Chain A
Amino acid sequence: MIFTELVDFMETTGGAAFADAVLLRADLPNDGAFTAVGNYPASYAVDMVAAASAITGIDGNILCENYGSFLFTRLLDHFPQIVASYTSSNGLLRHVASHIHEEVRVLYPDAKPPLIETVDDGDALRVRYESHRPFAHIAFGLIRACLVHYGDPRGIQWERAGSAYSATFRIAPVAALAP
């Protein structure tokens, strides 16, 4: 659903013509025909983000983060009971791997969800992302939207340079975050 939601994100934010232009420009082997139940190469998403960045002049990473935040609201629509079962962002984030990704694996045996690890650090929480797909920025956007949803006043920061495949985020009170 990452791909269908990405197309939706393009349409929602830039309109149907923009989404069409991105798909034309990305020139994907399937011509941008995505279904929520299908499985596609990560490069399709990378190509689409690159095309959108070229058309709009906005940094691809920023686009990914924004898409991540958009995706969280969609997940909230699709699976409200999952989100409702947690009362805080920490609660949800700690159980991403054991709860949500486990269900994904059961429903879609071919799917390979990313590795998400959390480590408590006083008031702060460290979240590590690692995947065969370069979607660290999407994850970053997802977490940011999650904090907003739970009214969590803390901020989020890339802890180390990392890469799109592997990164660690630090969630902490804004004052404690590096400038």
Chain B
Amino acid sequence: MTAIEPPDADQRIAMLERQLRRARVALREAEGLLETRARELERSNRELMAREQALLERLDTDNRMLLEAERIGNFATIRETRDAPAIASAPLSDLLGMPVAAGFRLAAVASQVHALDQGRFRDFVHAATGDGPPAAMLDFAHRLRREAGPPRWLRWRLQRRITGDGQFLDITGTVQDISEPRAAGRRVQTLQLLDTRRTRRMLRLARDVESAERARIAFLALMSHDVRTPMTGLLGMLSLLGATSLTADQRRQVGLAQRGAEQLRLLLDEIIRLAEDDSGQLALEQAPLALRSTLESIVDFWRSARPDAAARVTLAIDPGAPEWVSLDPTRFRQVVDNLVSDALERSGERVAVALGHRPGWLRLGVDGGPAGAAANSNARNLAIAVCQRIVDALGGRLARTTTAAAERIEIGLPVRIVEPPEHDPATEASRILVVDDVETNRLVVCGMLRLHGIETVEAADGVEAVARATEGSLSAIIMDIAMPEMDGLEATRRIRALPGAIGKVPIIGLTAHAGARERDAAIAAGMNVCLSRPIDRQTLTLVVDRHLGRTRASATPAINQNAFRDIFDRFDPAARATLFHHFEADLADQVGRLAQAVAAVDATAAGRAVHSLTGIAGTFGLEALRRLLPATDSGGTVNEATLAEITAAAQAAVAAARQLLSAPPTDGDP
């Protein structure tokens, strides 16, 4: 490029002036720009300083909070590195009870450690700050050396790091005074131990009390059973004595004796019931219950059972009360029976039974006179205790209101209203003809049956019985054997000869002579079974239920399939067959022994057989059989009726077992 030279001096001056002007303007512009940038820098600097200050304050606050936390938590923070001196927060001096100068080493703490912990502490320091062992979280507790007082405990928690080649790098962590938490933990442990011991002792005591109570009840029940049998005989004799020709004075004395004996029998019944109820969980069933007819039958029974009660007992049923409810019929009957009996016993006042209803609840009140001094308070308490227990089990309440002039017992029971059952033999009204020439005997048997919810009709001899049977509509007949006009055997033969259903009606014989000849004659005449007097309610209802096809045992399966399978499925088919053979043989053998013992009236042998049968039934899940077997300690209570039941249940169990074995096992095993 060619340089352009200005032609003269003036032009040169003008050019220089222009250059100077440009330079000045540019200088000013540059100064302005620099000024602006300087201000911006200044402002940025101030902002930075302010932020730095804020950060410092924040750091200070955090630090103070940490120190405060350390003071409250009784701990200090510590960091020791391979090369640099250790750093620890201020509380460390207080924790160790020694001045901690900058640059101290963890190992120096050893001088403050309790003599017994010195060795462990040295190992800990070596593990924390030595070379070699890998990085880890170290946790160590030790006692401090102290002149007096309880020992103080320190706990170190250090995070150890090492370099790549395994050299110690640093440890960071906390050291805390754990004396108090440790002591508190110890106290809690001690208290827990004490508590466990105390609970164990209480449980043992409770078990002792329970078993003592069971023993007491079992003894009572045993005694009562034993006393009741002669008592039934005594009552029978008294009623027979009352039927003979007596002087007025003698009749009064016999009446007194009868009343006393009756009262004694009631007391025994209550004790037995209480014992039975207490002997475990109350087994409850839910079944449709006809409220009105049940209450009417109970009231009717008491009206007829006690001539003095006929006019005294009234029954009022709220029209809104449901016809049918779902409730345990046996237990309900037992409660009402007890309450009415109790009200009748305690005074000569009127007894008013009233049934009320609220949604979901039944209210049954029994009003009577006050408990007089003459009333047997022991029997009363037993009866009420039985009621209370049943009502509790049913989920209801029992309230007792006593005034000087009257006493009222009211129970509330939760119930569900149900439709009347279509056709159920268990609740179908059964009508039984009771044939006996002795009125007291008829009364007793009818009373037992009515309490069981069975309607009764009566006949005084064989002729009347056959006439009544001809009219039909009987579910069963209970027939005395020795009667004037026509005896029970003849009457049975004639009824069996009748055409239609009535000819096949179950006939249960009753005889005072327990001999085999008598029984054989009864069966030959066409009776289904022949029972010996005196007869108790349990045996009578058991036999009647069986012949009416409403046996309670039928609700119980002959075999609990699961229990049975549990045993048999473990074996291969061949072993199963062998096992079954033994099972069947043992069962037959023990039933046979029991039958012999009952025939020989050998209570000890019967008890042994019952014991063996209970074992077999329990092992193989023979539910129905097990229910029939009396408690092993009262084997003597097996009589002919229960023996028949037991034999039938054993045969049913064998049949059910055979069927189960022929069916494929549940687990698909061939």
Report which residue of B1, B15, B23, B27 has the largest number of chain A beta carbons within 10 angstroms of its beta carbon: B1
Given A35-B27, A35-B29, A23–B22 Cβ distance below 8 Å?
yes
Does the CB pair B1–A37 fall under 8 Å?
Answer: no
Does the CB pair A17–B1 fall under 8 Å?
Answer: no
Given A17-B6, A31-B25, A56-B1, A36–B30 Cβ distance below 8 Å?
yes
Report which residue of B4, B19, B34 has the largest number of chain A beta carbons within 10 angstroms of its beta carbon: B4
The reply on B204 being an interface residue by CB < 8 A is no
The reply on A76 being an interface residue by CB < 8 A is no
The reply on A34 being an interface residue by CB < 8 A is yes
Does the CB pair A15–B26 fall under 8 Å?
Answer: no
The reply on A33 being an interface residue by CB < 8 A is yes
The reply on A16 being an interface residue by CB < 8 A is yes
In the complex, what distance in Å separates the CA atom of A58 from the CA atom of B1? 9
Interface members, chain A 22-43 (any B CB < 8 Å): 23-24, 30-38
Does the CB pair B2–A56 fall under 8 Å?
Answer: yes
The reply on B18 being an interface residue by CB < 8 A is yes
- Output the least CB separation between B452 and chain A (Å): 108
The reply on B237 being an interface residue by CB < 8 A is no
Does the CB pair A33–B25 fall under 8 Å?
Answer: yes
In the complex, what distance in Å separates the CA atom of A56 from the CA atom of B4? 10
How many A-B pairs have beta carbons closer than 8 Å: the answer is 59
- Output the least CB separation between A107 and chain B (Å): 10
Does the CB pair A17–B4 fall under 8 Å?
Answer: yes
As a 0/1 sequence over residues 39 to 72 of chain A, the CB contacts with chain B under 8 angstroms (1 = contact) are 0000000000000000110100000000000000
Given A20-B15, A20-B18, A33-B21, A38–B2 Cβ distance below 8 Å?
no
In the complex, what distance in Å separates the CA atom of A44 from the CA atom of B650? 125
Q: Give 17 A-B pairs besides A17-B15, A20-B19 with Cβ atoms closer than 8 angstroms.
A: A13-B1, A14-B3, A14-B4, A15-B5, A16-B15, A17-B4, A18-B3, A18-B4, A30-B25, A31-B18, A33-B25, A33-B26, A35-B27, A35-B29, A35-B33, A38-B29, A38-B30
In the complex, what distance in Å separates the CA atom of A37 from the CA atom of B33? 7
Does the CB pair B3–A33 fall under 8 Å?
Answer: no
Contact residues in A for B15 (Cβ distance below 8 Å): 16-17, 20
3 tightest Cβ-Cβ pairs between the two chains A and B = A33-B25, A15-B3, A35-B30
Contact residues in A for B24 (Cβ distance below 8 Å): 33
CB < 8 Å neighbour of A14 from B2, B21, B30: B2
In the complex, what distance in Å separates the CA atom of A15 from the CA atom of B1? 9
As a 0/1 sequence over residues 38 to 57 of chain B, the CB contacts with chain A under 8 angstroms (1 = contact) are 00000000000000000000
The reply on A21 being an interface residue by CB < 8 A is yes
In the complex, what distance in Å separates the CA atom of A5 from the CA atom of B6? 23
Given A16-B19, A17-B6, A20-B15, A34–B26 Cβ distance below 8 Å?
yes
Given A16-B15, A23-B22, A33–B1 Cβ distance below 8 Å?
no
Q: A33: nearest residue on chain B (CB-CB)?
A: B25
As a 0/1 sequence over residues 116 to 155 of chain B, the CB contacts with chain A under 8 angstroms (1 = contact) are 0000000000000000000000000000000000000000
Contact residues in B for A15 (Cβ distance below 8 Å): 3-5
CB < 8 Å neighbour of B22 from A32, A56, A58: A32
